[in-house]
Amino acid sequence: PQPVYLSDYQPPDYLVTHTELTFDLDPTATRVKARLHIERNPAAALSAPLVLDGENLTLVSLGLDGTALEERDYVVSDTTLRIEHVPERFCLESEVEIDPNSNTALEGLYRSSGMYCTQCEAEGFRRITYYPDRPDVMATFKVTVIGDPAREPVLLANGNRVEQGERDGRHFAVWEDPHPKPCYLFALVAGDLCKTSDRFTTQSGREVALEIWVEEENLDKTGHAMASLKRAMAWDETTYGREYDLDLFMIVAVNDFNMGAMENKGLNIFNSAAVLTHPDTATDAAFQNVEGIVAHEYFHNWSGNRVTCRDWFQLSLKEGFTVFRDQCFSADTNSAPVKRIQDVSFFRTAQFAEDAGPTAHPVRPDHYIEITNFYTLTIYEKGAEVVRMLCNLIGWEAFRRGADRYFERFDGCAATIEDFVGCMEDASGERLDQFMRWYSQAGTPEVDAFGEYDYVHGEYRLTLRQRTPATPGQNEKLPLHVPVRLGLVGTKSGQDLTLTLDGESLGKEGVIHLRQAEQTFVFENVAEAPVPSLLRGFSAPVLLHYPYSREELAFLLTHDSDGFNRWDAGQRLSMLALDDLIAAHRNGVEKVMDTRVVEAFRTLLDGEVSDKAVLAEMLTLPTEAYIAEQQRIVDVDAIHAAREFMRQSLAVALRDEFIATYEANASDEPYAPTPEQIATRSLKNVALAYLMAIEDAKGLELCQAQFAAGRNMTDVRQALTLLVHSDRQDLAAPALKTFGEKWAHDSLVMDQWFTVQVTRPQPDVLERVEYLMDHPAFSIKNPNKVRALIGAFTQNRVNFHRLDGQGYRLLADVVIELNRLNPEIAARLITPLTRWQRFDESRQALMRQELARIKKEPLSSNVYEVVEKALA
Ligand code: HT7
Ligand code: ZN
């Protein structure tokens, strides 16, 4: 497979102004008729041939302006249909046959639990009909769907339904979408579905019908998604002044879906895991996830659909901006500091790892082989961090003006990242040339900071030095514009000191702009020695090094006025102690717990932090994955042993406090996914986890009682997890059995049942994975099952990285099978193997051996691209 380069971008030679499609549905032989109203792009050469994309299509007929074309008039290849000579304006009529049943890749038109559904982003539409499958070709669509009234009583497509009826024992519906859109936003759904309905009145007084379509047994699981949708619609009006633009907004839940959801115009299609919730079946985390994804897809209606991307290199234009929008929405709707803590904690673990691995790429890549491999943490999450920096740099008012300008100027257009940043420049008057490097330069910038206090002159000198390590294909890096939000916390007063820089007062907190490789900032009139609180709120996506002492970190943990940095100080303090424990484990000497960490936790448990959700985060130790990110060569076993030792030491030392915390937060209120209840449950469950770390008698009693009470899935799943991950298999086995039998009918709950079992740290898990792969509830064709069982297993570090290499072998076997069935999922699943450079020599060899074994297969372009980079 050949790469595509951003520098080769050319505008399309032909534009489609209007698209008419007729689908005659059949499980194995669906007929798709297309009437494409096409015009030559004025910029194109008169002699330009018409080249349409098409894959896995059987061409039945082709005509131009009512005249059938002969085979000599066109050339069909595996991926294109080419007509050498066409008029300036014409209607192309085609009919193709496709086979939805055999579509296991889940791109294009496929079947899921008996229904028909589509996934066209990024390049799935070419598996439906011959078309210029690129986002800068935007057309209005009229779609007729013909189906069997018994098998698919519901026929949906984008826009408004304008007609329906019956003919020859079949029935049909006609849908019209008046908004020009690229074909990746096309959607069709047909099946035996039921709906929940509601309404929303926009700020200008328009009535919008809202519908969530699901299988009948899931009707009671749509309430939270509907409420989230209405909150998101209201938020986009008040925050960005954007209202919805059709009379109908539909969401459909499907069981087989490669990602979380898809923002098709007026007809969002969701992975059922990203939309269905019920207190008995979904955890608090799932409720919050659903709220965030519903909002994300809804926000795309403006940032993505009304204004789309010129080409797929600009993917972060819509995804980074929309993630930023959904993060702000969730922060406004829930606990803002906790949202930031969770997002950053995930980002620093997973995106930093991506940046440090062989598939590292910029927020705007300059080439790719397979675009679906680029729906990454860098494009989404780092893209969102870049937009957040931009917003913080120019201030919310200017940012909002810039967003208005962007939505107005590019409405109905396919835009670029320069267009977006240009609007922000116009709105703020700031030059953002250097800032643009964030889009083109891959890798995580590292910032080294050093501070010294000059008692004599009352000055604090802060030196910042930045460097970005080389990434594949990008050795030279230029300095970035890094906004560092900071405070200086007085060691005597415990308060933020006033910041004066170059004679100008910044108040108690300020932002300094690191633009050069090294810069020194001299703060004047600093009355007492401070501890710097740097990069508050994670003001830039960088790795910050500052040689904090443990005393300074303990001080910031209790005195920093920035909630995020208080949490971060706790994480840094735990990390220093964990480093000692890891070293002790490696050297075979006795592990000794740092009492400063114990005392810091005691202070927290004594009521230092009033926000329970923040407190729960502060009591949570860095994950094994995060700790691993801090090591050049990862010692899987030492990390696990050190973290377990720390959890157990804290549990022993603070047993009574954890019991008191548990009891103070146990509640029998009816379940609601409110921020207050979620905070209370998470604090209670963190306390329970510590008690179970030492299998304390009281802890075991509470855990069993929590499982048996079965109040809600958050509590039940936590209790089940803690039992299964303990050494008390006598208690775990019956609990697993009860749970498995009770929920055998609920696919999403069974996914949780799989995950709980394969994330157990004890050494017998690989065999359990193999056993569960034969379980009737598992199917390798269903991406949720693969993620719940295999994906979760690869996150079980001690088991996946078994020294005999069997964990790697199992993953490679699954990847090889999925490479044929669903290349997109296969390519994502390989990720842990691609990180081989970070492990010891024997593991490296075993991981590379499995990559090499995969490479010998006839590979899809998705898997090929990843394996090639991993072995380069
Ligand atoms: N924009 C959507 C992307 C998406 C996708 C991409 C490739 C393959 C399958 C897919 N399903 C959804 C999701 C989003 O960011 O909103
Ligand atoms: Zn998105």
Instruction: Provide φ and ψ at 329, rounded to 5°.
Output: -60, -50
| Per-residue CA distances from 321 to 262, 307, 327, 357, 377 (Å) | 16, 12, 10, 25, 13
The answer to the question of residue 255 being in a domain is no
Using the 3D structure, point to which of 159, 192, 225 is the last residue of a domain: 192
Look at residues 353, 350, 351 and name the one whose alpha carbon lies nearest to residue 632.
Answer: 353
Two tokens, residue 183: 């074909």
> Quick one: DSSP state of residue 70?
P
Contacts of 119 (CB under 8 A, 6+ apart): 106, 107, 108, 110, 257, 258, 262, 269
The answer to the question of residue 826 being in a domain is yes
**Angle at CA 833, nearest 5°, toward 830 and 838?**
145
What CATH number did the domain enclosing 780 receive? 1.25.50.10
The answer to the question of residue 249 being in a domain is no
- Output the pLDDT for position 499: 98
677 and 783 in a single domain? The answer is yes
- Output the pLDDT for position 608: 75
325 and 451 in a single domain? The answer is no
User: Around Cβ 692, how many Cβ atoms within 10 Å?
Assistant: 24
Q: Rounded CA gap, 49 and 293, in Å?
A: 41
799 and 837 in a single domain? The answer is yes
Tell me the catalytic residues.
297
Within 6 Å (CB) of ligand 1, which residues are found? 119, 121-122, 258-259, 261-263, 296-297, 300, 319, 372, 375, 824
672 and 799 in a single domain? The answer is yes
8 and 154 in a single domain? The answer is yes
**Angle at CA 421, nearest 5°, toward 415 and 424?**
120
User: Which residue in this structure is represented by tokens 């995580």?
Assistant: 444
The answer to the question of residue 714 being in a domain is yes
Whole-number Å distance, alpha carbon 296 to ligand 2 midpoint, is 6
Instruction: Assign 3-class secondary structure to 721-777.
Output: HHHHCCCCHHHHHHHHHHHHHHCCCCHHHHHHHHHHHHCCCCCCHHHHHHHHHCCCC
Whole-number Å distance, alpha carbon 256 to ligand 1 midpoint, is 13
At residue 276, what is the residue type? L
Question: From atom 6 of ligand 1, which residue's Cα is the shortest distance away?
Answer: 121
- Which residue ranges of the chain lie beneath pLDDT 50? none
Counted domains in the chain: 4
420 and 527 in a single domain? The answer is no
Q: Which numbered ligand comes closest to the C-alpha of 321?
A: 2
| Per-residue CA distances from 807 to 753, 815, 864 (Å) | 20, 12, 21
432 and 459 in a single domain? The answer is no
Length of the chain: 872
Instruction: Provide φ and ψ at 631, rounded to 5°.
Output: -105, 145
What CATH number did the domain enclosing 393 receive? 1.10.390.10
645 and 512 in a single domain? The answer is no
Burial (Cβ within 10 Å: 0-12, 13-18, ≥19) of residue 689: buried
707 and 835 in a single domain? The answer is yes
384 and 407 in a single domain? The answer is yes
The answer to the question of residue 295 being in a domain is no
- Output the pLDDT for position 610: 84
- Output the pLDDT for position 609: 79
Whole-number Å distance, alpha carbon 387 to ligand 1 midpoint, is 20
Helix/strand/coil for 759 = coil
Two tokens, residue 581: 């424990």
453 and 433 in a single domain? The answer is no
Q: Residue 378: in which H helix or E strand, if any?
A: none
Q: Rounded CA gap, 544 and 450, in Å?
A: 11
Question: From atom 5 of ligand 1, which residue's Cα is the shortest distance away?
Answer: 121
- Output the pLDDT for position 294: 99
Look at residues 364, 363, 303 and name the one whose alpha carbon lies nearest to residue 329.
Answer: 303
74 and 168 in a single domain? The answer is yes
Q: Rounded CA gap, 206 and 226, in Å?
A: 18
Q: Is the peptide bond before 122 cis (omega within 30 degrees of 0)?
A: yes
- Sheet with 67-68, edge to edge strand ranges: 67-68, 58-64, 89-98, 30-40, 14-24, 139-147, 170-181, 160-167
The answer to the question of residue 326 being in a domain is yes
Neighbours of ion ligand 2 (CB under 5 A): 319, 322
Q: Is the ipTM of this complex over 0.90?
A: yes
pTM, two decimals, is: 0.98
Helix/strand/coil for 81 = strand
Domain that includes residue 810, residue range:
563-871
